[in-house]
Amino acid sequence: MNVAVVGHVEWVEFARVEEMPAPGEIVHALETWEEAAGGGAVAAVQLANLAGSCLFFTSLADDELGRRARQELEGRGVTVHASVAREPSRRAFTHVNEDGERTITVLGEKLRPPGEDGSLPWEELARCAAVYFTGGDVAALRAARQAGVLVATSRELPTLRRAGVEIDVLVGSGEDAGERFDPGEIEPPPRIVVTTSGGLGGWIRPGGPFRAAPLPGPVSDAYGCGDCFAAGVTYGLGLGQPVDEAVALGARCGATVLTGQGAYGRQLTAKEI
């Protein structure tokens, strides 16, 4: 089954700390690491772990971090199709505390793939069973609509409004103001809206509540939980699963990544389904 992500990548530096720094306070990192992450990249790797491969339409800067990001993602089973951005690579810094909660500071603008870039094989999206959209312009979103199933993050509402295409499933966090969605915000309305609420599970509209999946280990790091959840939903829908089953698979993906370090320390794989 062919699956894809249209979205963004960031180079993220992580620091694990005993507790988040208070204003004016200095804290010492217990450990540090860095990797190519961001919502699009994390979802693409999760889909590659489930489907065996994943197309990733993105934008990368022509700098060292852009080249390192491509190399890392391709090493994780992702086929990267990237436009060349004029801006430098977007970076982020993430604190992770003892409870596994993450706090992110983003440096720079999100690099979105332009759908008018003729160097990218947008026609391949028409052969995909499912695509997850985390960032891009209107033309990129319309190209993603060629897929059998289109899932999108509610963080990109301005683009969704302008594109005027039907989203099969809109996914967002009920605990993040930047992902809040109210009925009537986009036309045509999404067929299904899935709102997550961490360990409480979430809500499917239309449908009802769903439960969080059991954790397969101790909590380590919450980075990437929402992105892996959305990737799991995308994969399940691409397989033809009913939405409740796809959401349950997404919940397993989110629970699994919570038990690993960073975005890729522990992701659900096809062998574990």
pLDDT tens digits, residue range 3-62? Answer: 999 999 999 999 999 999 889 999 999 999 999 999 999 999 999 999 999 999 999 999
Q: Among residues of the chain, what percentage have pLDDT more than 90?
A: 93
Beta partners for 80?
Answer: 56
Looking at residue 144, what is its pLDDT?
Answer: 98
Query: Where does the chain show beta strands of DSSP type E?
Result: 3-6, 10-16, 31-37, 54-61, 78-85, 91-96, 102-107, 130-133, 149-153, 169-173, 192-196, 202-205, 208-210
- Nearest Cα to Cα of residue 39 among 150, 163, 158, 179: 179
Read off the pLDDT band of 114 (50, 70, 90): very high
- Residue 256, pLDDT above cutoff 80: yes
Q: Which residues contact 250 (CB under 8 A, 6 or more apart)?
A: 194, 228, 229, 230, 231, 232, 233, 236
- Residue 181, pLDDT above cutoff 90: no
Looking at residue 173, what is its pLDDT?
Answer: 86
Describe the strand order of the beta sheet including 202-205 as a list of residue ranges: 78-85, 54-61, 3-6, 130-133, 149-153, 169-173, 192-196, 202-205, 208-210
Q: Give per-residue pLDDT as tens, 138-166.
A: 999 999 999 999 999 999 999 999 999 99
Taking the C-alpha atoms of residue 142 and residue 134, their distance in angstroms, rounded to an integer, is: 13
Looking at residue 184, what is its pLDDT?
Answer: 83
Looking at residue 134, what is its pLDDT?
Answer: 97
Q: Which helix (H) or strand (E) holds 51?
A: helix 39-51
Q: Which fold has domain 3-20+29-267?
A: UDP-N-acetylmuramoyl-L-alanine:D-glutamate ligase (3.40.1190)
Q: Give per-residue pLDDT as tens, 199-255.
A: 899 999 999 999 999 999 999 999 999 999 999 999 999 999 999 999 999 999 999
Taking the C-alpha atoms of residue 268 and residue 270, their distance in angstroms, rounded to an integer, is: 7
**For the chain, which residues make up each domain, given as ranges?**
3-20+29-267
- Nearest Cα to Cα of residue 2 among 45, 53, 67, 44: 53
Looking at residue 89, what is its pLDDT?
Answer: 98
- Residue 176, pLDDT above cutoff 80: no
Looking at residue 174, what is its pLDDT?
Answer: 73
The answer to whether 270 and 49 are in contact (CB under 8 A) is yes
Looking at residue 175, what is its pLDDT?
Answer: 75
Mean pLDDT for all residues in the chain: 96
Residue type, 243: V
Looking at residue 243, what is its pLDDT?
Answer: 97
Q: Angle 223-158-206 (CA atoms, 0-180°, nearest 5)? A: 75
Residue the block writes with tokens 């089953």: 245
